[in-house]
Amino acid sequence: MLAAAAADFESPLFWAVFIGWVLSVVLHEFAHGLVAYLGGDYTIRERGGLTLNPLQYVDPVMSIILPMVFLAMGGIPLPGGVTYVRTDLLRSRLWATAVSAAGPLMNLLLFIGLALPLNSRLGWVPATLPVAEWTPAQKLVGALAFLQLFSVLLNLVPVPPLDGFNMIAPYLARDTREKLTRGPAAFGLLFMFFLLFRSKRVILFAYDLMRPVAELLGVPFSDLVQALRSALLGHT
C-alpha distances out from residue 39 to 15, 42, 105, Å: 36, 9, 16
- Residue 5 falls within a domain, yes or no? no
pLDDT (tens digit per residue) in 114-129: 999 999 999 899 988 9
pLDDT value, residue 147: 96
Contacts of residue 223, Cβ cutoff 8 Å, sequence gap at least 6: 118, 131, 142
pLDDT (tens digit per residue) in 198-225: 788 999 999 999 999 999 999 999 999 9
- Residue 6 falls within a domain, yes or no? no
pLDDT (tens digit per residue) in 29-55: 999 999 999 999 999 998 888 999 999
Over residues 146-170, mean pLDDT: 93
Range of the domain at 143: 12-233
pLDDT value, residue 129: 94
- Residue 112 falls within a domain, yes or no? yes
Q: What is the mean pLDDT of the chain?
A: 89
pLDDT value, residue 7: 65
Name the domain count of the chain.
Answer: 1
Q: Which of 29, 46, 133, 215 is catalytic?
A: 29
pLDDT value, residue 100: 97
- Residue 3 falls within a domain, yes or no? no
Over residues 10-15, mean pLDDT: 88
Q: Is the pLDDT of residue 195 over 90?
A: no
- Is 29 an annotated catalytic residue? yes
Instruction: To the nearest 10°, report the CA torsion of 136, 140, 142, 147.
Output: 160
- Residue 7 falls within a domain, yes or no? no
- Residue 4 falls within a domain, yes or no? no
Give CA–CA dist 119/107, Å, rounded: 19
More confidently predicted of 163 and 49:
163
The pTM assigned to this predicted structure is 0.92
- Residue 174 falls within a domain, yes or no? yes
- Residue 2 falls within a domain, yes or no? no
Instruction: To the nearest 10°, report the CA torsion of 41, 45, 48, 54.
Output: 80
**pLDDT bracket for residue 160 (50, 70, 90):** confident
CA nearest to 226, candidates 114, 152, 138, 123: 138
Over residues 75-86, mean pLDDT: 87
pLDDT value, residue 1: 43
Contacts of residue 95, Cβ cutoff 8 Å, sequence gap at least 6: 35, 39, 40
Of 37-51, 138-152, 178-192, the range with the lowest mean pLDDT is 178-192
pLDDT value, residue 169: 93
Over residues 231-236, mean pLDDT: 73
Q: Is the pLDDT of residue 131 over 70?
A: yes
